[in-house]
Structure 1
């Protein structure tokens, strides 16, 4: 379908150069819109409400709710663009009910003792390094994991850090989040600062040549997959049976701060959430804090009741 294909190409160009969306968002949009292009297959009117309705039903048959939600959002943004550029008189989404019940999955966290064990193994491996190469790799791994947990940043944000984003004079990190939103976080723990400085001193030349703060073995930008592999390796060495993902450090960061009575709105800002409702899911995870309150602080504990 030449017309739809042409509109998609123009829209993606608009997203890249006018809206300045990041590579991952553009990639998702391209995949989602090309799926709709394939569905229409020259035989369906891609602007019609009926075609969209059929396609959304097909999405629900094939994908999990979270993926369906994203693909619908991609389409809605595309049709909004067509309306904005006056290529479309009536937006079919105005008359489509795309809402559906989505199961609320609680974020998976890493227990405090497991994080402690994980970090201990990281430093232990550095002390056991038998070569300068191994030692440098450990310095890099320690800096990456410490920063991931210290800030609660996303793995994509970690891997996209530039040298200028890390300010070890003022101990801050500039993070570029979703929607091209920036946030600056303070690095408060002295051991994290030492880890970052040790890594920076050892990799100074590689960092300068690469243009990114975290560098892989080939002296290129560290990838998301490399961090996942790194986490799996150290989790196995630590004897942690729980499957740990990079995003679980983010979940644990939020939950543990909440259990320390940090205001949820501060956590929202630190995580870079645009809506407080996104952050509020962590209030359901904090079961340890809830138990402490109900066992030790409930008013009934302080009541003296005469029994007969």
Structure 2
């Protein structure tokens, strides 16, 4: 069988047997499309794809000056694909079987929002809403929604994808509980304790409740459809610029800022792991590096040794 035929079978396997998300299937298709376009191998027999061929392809990816993270993902997709072919006995052995392939990723510390910028951001969006004269206009409605979105991002540390896919049944405003369905369909419940956050959700719900239940999504856009991840990113970027904040602000930075803030308040890392929905505590531990930088700053500027005046 030809490569493109095998890719079609693999896609069906991912959708109907593995029940993978549409985003994962789309990412697999993008990676495999690039692989079959390499040397125009779409109609090639599976015998062509040995260890040498895979190594040449990986070298080609590096020559395209892709980020290490992208290359690692593309190689991971290929490994999954060939493991499927081996398991289904289309090939005898996966070419990855005896390959020592290690792609090291640069360690990047999570970017957070400065406290002064965070305060400025929230002060601006609340003032922006209050300054809208026509309280029945869509501009006002959108401002109310935008406040609820950003307040919830920071209050829960949820991912933007998790926020956009919230159903009306996932949020109990009266009890202040949000049920979040994260990666791997793992569910976690987060309490909303801040009264201003609760109030922002109440105001939004009063304006949008009819449309919320019609579409079965909690956050709704101008066209009365689910609010998209890109819309949230553009919205936050817009308020960042309008408020005069120079540093780039993204939805994910609210998540990072919550995590590092909780660590600075000496919250046990296991609780932070649960709040963020990390399956492994190793993922959460990246924030301890950020926290150690904060610790260094404190010891450098506030240590009582500075005030001994020995000499």
Deviation string 1:5-53 (CA, Å, 9 cap, x unpaired) is 2222222222222322222111111101111122234357454112111
CA distance in 1, matches of 2:133, 2:175: 34
CA shift digits 1:57-113 (9 cap, x unpaired): 111222110101111111122222223323332122121122033211211111111
Shift of 1:304: 8.4
From 115, 118, 126, the equivalent of 1:115 is 118
Gaps of 5+ in 1: none
**Who is 1:218 aligned against?**
223
Does 1:95 find its partner at 2:101? no
1:42 aligned residue? 43
1:167–1:93: structure 2 CA closer, same or farther, 3 Å change rule? same
What 5-or-longer segments of structure 2 have no aligned partner? Answer: none
- 2:132 is matched with 129
Change (3 A) 1:192 1:177: same
Considering only aligned residues, what root-mean-square deviation do their CA atoms show, in Å? 2.2
Contact persistence 1:157–1:177 (CA under 8 A): yes
Label 1:297 to 1:82 Cα distance change in 2 as closer, same or farther (>3 A): farther
- Distance in 1 (alpha carbons) for counterparts of 2:14 and 2:103: 27
Kindly indicate whether the alpha-carbon contact (under 8 Å) linking 1:232 and 1:244 is maintained by their aligned counterparts in 2: yes
1:151 matched to 2:153? The reply is: no
Q: How much has 1:143 moved relative to structure 2? A: 0.5
Q: Which residue of 1 aligns with 2:53?
A: 51
- Of 247, 266, 270, 1:261 maps to 266
The secondary structure found in structure 2 opposite 1:94 is: coil
Structure 2: distance between partners of 1:23 and 1:293: 48
**In structure 2, distance between residues paired with 1:86 and 1:188:** 54
**How many residue pairs end up in the alignment?**
304
**Equivalent position to 2:176, from 157, 167, 171:** 171
Which ranges of 4 or more aligned residues in structure 1 deviate by more than 4 Å?
A: 293-298, 302-307
Q: 2:63 aligns with which of 49, 61, 64?
A: 61
The reply on whether 1:187 has 2:192 as its aligned counterpart is: yes
**Aligned-partner Cα distance in 1 for 2:215–2:296:** 46
2: distance between equivalents of 1:203 and 1:152? 23
The DSSP-based 3-state class of the residue aligned with 1:118 is helix
**Bigger shift: residues 149-158 or 267-276:** 267-276
Partners of 1:76 and 1:93 within 8 A in 2: yes
After TM superposition, the score normalised by the length of structure 2 is 0.90
Residues 302/247 of structure 1: CA separation in 2 closer, same or farther (3 Å cut)? closer
Query: 1:151 and 1:100 mapped to 2: Cα distance?
Result: 33
SS in 1 for 2:108: coil
Name 1:291's counterpart in structure 2: 297
User: Which residue does 2:88 correspond to in 1?
Assistant: 85
